C-alpha cells in the first residue's frame, strides 16, 4: 500500500514538474514572439519615414520632381511620415517664386514637415522669408545626422 502511495506521489510530482517546465518554455516563447513583434514594429516605423533633402536652385526640378514627389508620397500613403528639408539654393526659390511658395503651403497642409537650414538661410539672407512661409528654420547638422541614421533620406 505504501508503495502505491509512493508511486502515485512520484507520478504526481513528475506531472507537476513537467507542467512547470512546459509553462516555463511557453512563457519564454511568448516573450521571444513579443520581442520579435516589437522589433518588426520599430522597423516598420523606420521604413515609413522619408526625408527629402532639397538643395537644387532649379525651379523645374523643384516643381516637376521634388515637390511633386514629396507631396504625393504623403498624399498617396507611400510613406507615413514625410519631411522636406530645404537647404541652400532651394531656399531662395521658396522665398522668391510664388508658384513654389504656394506648393510649400500645399505640402504643409498635407501634413508634411518642412524644415530649412538656418546657417544657409542666414547666409542667403532668406531666413525671414522662409519663416513667413511657415518653414521651420533651424540648424540642421544634428537633425540631418539623426535622419540619416533613422529614416530613408533622398537628395535632390
Regarding predicted confidence, which is higher, 93 or 47? 93
| CA 115 – CA 32 distance, rounded (Å) | 39
| Same domain as 42, residue 15 | yes
* Tens digits of residue pLDDT in 16-69: 555 555 555 555 555 554 554 445 444 436 689 999 999 999 999 999 999 999
| Same domain as 136, residue 84 | yes
The grid coordinates of residue 102 equal 504656394
User: What is the overall mean pLDDT for the chain?
Assistant: 84
| Same domain as 106, residue 29 | no
DSSP secondary structure letter of residue 88:
T
Q: Rg of the chain over CA atoms, in angstroms?
A: 28
Q: How far is CA 119 from the centre of its chain?
A: 25
For helices 89-96 and 98-109, angle between their N-to-C axes, nearest 10 degrees: 100
Q: How far is residue 55 from each of residues 63, 77, 113, measured CA to CA in Å? A: 13, 24, 16
C-alpha angle 26/27/29, rounded to 5°? 65
**Residue 47: what pLDDT?**
81
| Same domain as 53, residue 43 | no
Taking alpha carbons only, the member of 49, 111, 48, 112 closest to residue 86 is 112
* Tens digits of residue pLDDT in 54-84: 999 999 999 999 999 999 999 999 999 999 9
| Same domain as 106, residue 43 | no
Q: Is the dihedral of CA 133, 139, 141, 145 positive or negative?
A: negative
* CATH, residue 71: 3.40.1260.10
Does residue 120 have a pLDDT over 60?
yes
| Same domain as 60, residue 25 | no
What's the domain count of the chain?
Answer: 2
| Same domain as 141, residue 70 | yes
Amino acid at each position: 500500500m505504501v508503495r502505491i502511495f509512493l508511486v502515485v506521489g512520484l507520478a504526481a510530482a513528475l506531472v507537476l514538474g513537467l507542467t512547470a517546465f512546459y509553462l516555463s518554455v511557453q512563457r519564454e516563447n511568448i516573450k521571444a514572439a513579443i520581442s520579435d513583434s516589437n522589433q518588426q514594429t520599430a522597423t516598420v516605423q523606420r521604413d515609413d519615414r522619408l526625408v527629402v533633402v532639397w538643395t537644387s536652385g532649379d525651379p523645374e526640378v523643384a516643381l516637376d520632381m521634388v515637390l511633386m514627389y514629396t507631396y504625393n508620397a504623403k498624399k498617396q500613403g507611400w510613406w507615413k511620415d514625410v519631411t522636406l528639408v530645404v537647404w541652400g539654393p532651394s531656399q531662395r526659390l521658396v522665398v522668391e517664386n510664388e508658384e513654389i511658395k504656394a506648393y510649400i503651403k500645399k505640402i504643409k497642409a498635407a501634413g508634411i514637415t518642412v524644415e530649412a537650414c538656418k546657417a544657409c538661410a542666414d547666409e542667403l539672407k532668406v531666413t525671414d522669408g522662409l519663416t513667413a512661409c511657415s518653414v521651420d528654420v533651424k540648424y540642421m547638422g544634428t537633425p540631418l545626422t539623426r535622419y540619416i541614421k533613422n529614416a530613408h533620406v533622398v537628395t535632390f
